[in-house]
Structure 1
């Protein structure tokens, strides 16, 4: 995804070309002269580049003119950009530019560039060109971005499917996907471990639904792989592969994402046991350290709970709704802070706090039961394994003076 837009300038140039018969190019070439390719760019180093990117290239085989059309433009300087981003109301734009210019940008960044020439008929190529030029108009270029169901790759996929008469959707929906939204997200973000952990913590059950190949093609590299298997009618009743040929224009020079999502269960289980053990040791030998350590945990648990609650109730990030991790981390943690420091001086928890502790332990048990239910459940085992020992040890330490 890029931060600069030039679609208005390009639109003017293309319209000028269309009005000028002397200028042969993409805008007015007959469909038989148009070569259509899917250009796929590998993941970048910055977090918003980790999903990769792609574009549709239209090339006039007579004049040699070639433009890339992509749907990944956003602008940090846009009014209320960060507020809208936090609320899940992200405004993206379609863009286009000379193919060589786009390729140079990604080659210089060390990201792979792959071109797949597609076997579209002359009529399909012309229809795709006309649709992309229509979509490039200022009144049509913007759209409401969604990470999983309406992003720069799903827009490219949908434009190709429209030109192919729905063949792409029919083919891909008939096959199961390989991973869930959660698995793909954690896999691609694993180069930034803390960001991968936060995203896994913030994703709700929506991210764990089984996907078909069409849904999983929200990622450029997945769409690239899926197109290799699609067959289309050549216009004479025979089927042939959609991808005519594939060329690696520039190899990847960055660290490639792993093939599978990392398993977070063991690391978080060990972290939870370690933290719980520290609670016990500090409670016995270093009361002040115990209070400080417990304070950090309770503040983090309460803050995470508030964030998850806000994501569910005040934003359109539907992938974060109904998050079962709210049972493990919630604002009840703030209520326990004064009692933690009272326990440092050997004072027992009040009966009210006993009730709060019991309520929190009950919430943990509900989270476990929700996870064990049949059907589509949230895959939050890592956080269950982390939180349960911590809450059990905190409950024990806060109630140990109750007679």
Structure 2
């Protein structure tokens, strides 16, 4: 009954401009309170960048719910859909205590910013969230950069204010790229192997400079964006207030980073390459086959991610300069006395040298820990181009 009276009151207020001038004071008694929740990063890769959700409290109806655009179903075809860029995320609704309990267990802090909207705007936003949560509307195709749980929260708020939301600039003078922003979180989260994987799979489009609005695909940047945003000259949100304060669960990554591991691999193979002997030659034969075959498989994966998926940032990938898909075939001919095999690896050698020289000037920022891999490709290719049969007759006679 109280909600019906409130709705009738708002209808009168919206329909009669002369009455609306007297409304602001009474609208302070609106039963709705809507806040933006920003959650700190966690240990798992999916939580490395934090999270955003919207909390709705209705004192009349006794509602305290969280609208969460970051829900997905871990079905048997989860990985297949994720790789192909067809994974659906959903808007879910859960009780605030249940939501907060999850973050308490994961030791992730939560802060909230209350939306400074009129009662009419709050009701409109709440209605939009409820419509979004219907089964026929709640699913969407996830895009990490342009359509995720954070951008969805930003857009539904911005689309339900009476006047446009004006976002102040939150970017530094040296505007970062998407990759720069992602790296900053992976470095804080001590995720060097995840950083390597992302740098390998995502192409040159990730190196575009972000716009002010685009930077808000990250929860912390949306918090900053909302903190200074204005509607009709008034601040959109109140100052951030802690809801849950927890110690960070992030731990160090250890000493076996990609750079350390790949550098050690390069030094070991370099040592074996300089050492003579039949056993060494056999070991190098096995290594070269596995090494170039794996590089070829990586190249095929990059081609598939470029042409066979719906992902928007896996195209134009310069990692194909070292992960040549043709290695999958040539790996089976390693060690054969053949001029064409020697010519192939000579070409690979020169391509690797060019890649190493231009490493820091490419349109795509390649992961620095791949530099030892590029050096290893150049070294082994040079050896294979000179001596594809693994050692001279004198070396084999040494036994």
Match of 1:4 in 2: none
Change (3 A) 1:306 1:383: farther
Q: Distance in 1 between matches of 2:9 and 2:153?
A: 21
Structure 1, 28-37 or 289-298: larger mean CA deviation: 28-37
Does structure 1 residue 358 correspond to structure 2 residue 346? yes
Match of 2:270 in 1: 280
Match of 1:241 in 2: 235
Structure 1 residue 350, shift from structure 2 partner:
1.9
Deviations 1:274-329 (A, max 9, x none): 44443332123222232233233212211211111110111112211110000111
Q: Secondary structure at the match of 1:138?
A: coil
Q: Distance in 1 between matches of 2:196 and 2:220?
A: 23
Match of 2:19 in 1: none
Counterpart mapping for 1:114-125 below 5 A: 114-125=111-122
Q: Distance in 2 between matches of 1:210 and 1:276?
A: 34
Q: 1:37 aligns with which of 29, 35, 38?
A: 35
Q: Secondary structure at the match of 2:198?
A: helix
Q: Secondary structure at the match of 1:217?
A: helix
Structure 1 residue 162, shift from structure 2 partner:
0.7
Structure 1 residue 368, shift from structure 2 partner:
5.8
Counterpart mapping for 1:1-400 below 5 A: 21=1, 32-62=30-60, 64-77=62-75, 80-164=77-161, 167-168=164-165, 170-171=166-167, 179-189=176-186, 190-233=189-232, 239-256=233-250, 274-285=264-275, 286-342=280-336, 349-364=337-352, 367=355, 377-380=363-366, 382=368, 385-400=371-386
Unpaired stretches in structure 2, ≥5 consecutive residues: 11-26, 393-399
Contact kept? 1:371, 1:378, Cα under 8 Å: no
Q: Distance in 2 between matches of 1:230 and 1:22?
A: 33
Q: Distance in 2 between matches of 1:399 and 1:363?
A: 13
Unpaired stretches in structure 1, ≥5 consecutive residues: 1-20, 234-238, 343-348
Q: Distance in 2 between matches of 1:227 and 1:156?
A: 11
Deviations 1:360-381 (A, max 9, x none): 235435646876768xx11115
Q: Secondary structure at the match of 1:183?
A: helix
Match of 2:14 in 1: none
Contact kept? 1:273, 1:386, Cα under 8 Å: yes
Q: Secondary structure at the match of 1:318?
A: coil
Task: Tell me the number of residue pairs that the alignment of Structure 1 and Structure 2 aligns.
Answer: 361
Q: Distance in 1 between matches of 2:270 and 2:192?
A: 28
Q: Distance in 1 between matches of 2:7 and 2:53?
A: 17
Q: Secondary structure at the match of 2:324?
A: coil
Q: Distance in 1 between matches of 2:372 and 2:159?
A: 46
Structure 1 residue 27, shift from structure 2 partner:
10
RMSD: 3.3
Contact kept? 1:39, 1:54, Cα under 8 Å: yes
Change (3 A) 1:340 1:29: farther
Q: Secondary structure at the match of 1:320?
A: coil
Deviations 1:336-368 (A, max 9, x none): 4345445xxxxxx52211221233235435646
Q: Distance in 1 between matches of 2:7 and 2:349?
A: 65
Contact kept? 2:69, 2:153, Cα under 8 Å: yes
Change (3 A) 1:252 1:214: farther
Indicate the structure (1 or 2) with the bigger Cα radius of gyration. Answer: 2
Contact kept? 1:72, 1:92, Cα under 8 Å: yes
Q: Secondary structure at the match of 1:292?
A: helix
Contact kept? 1:26, 1:60, Cα under 8 Å: no
Contact kept? 1:324, 1:367, Cα under 8 Å: no
Q: Secondary structure at the match of 2:93?
A: strand
Change (3 A) 1:172 1:350: farther
Contact kept? 1:172, 1:212, Cα under 8 Å: no
Change (3 A) 1:249 1:334: same
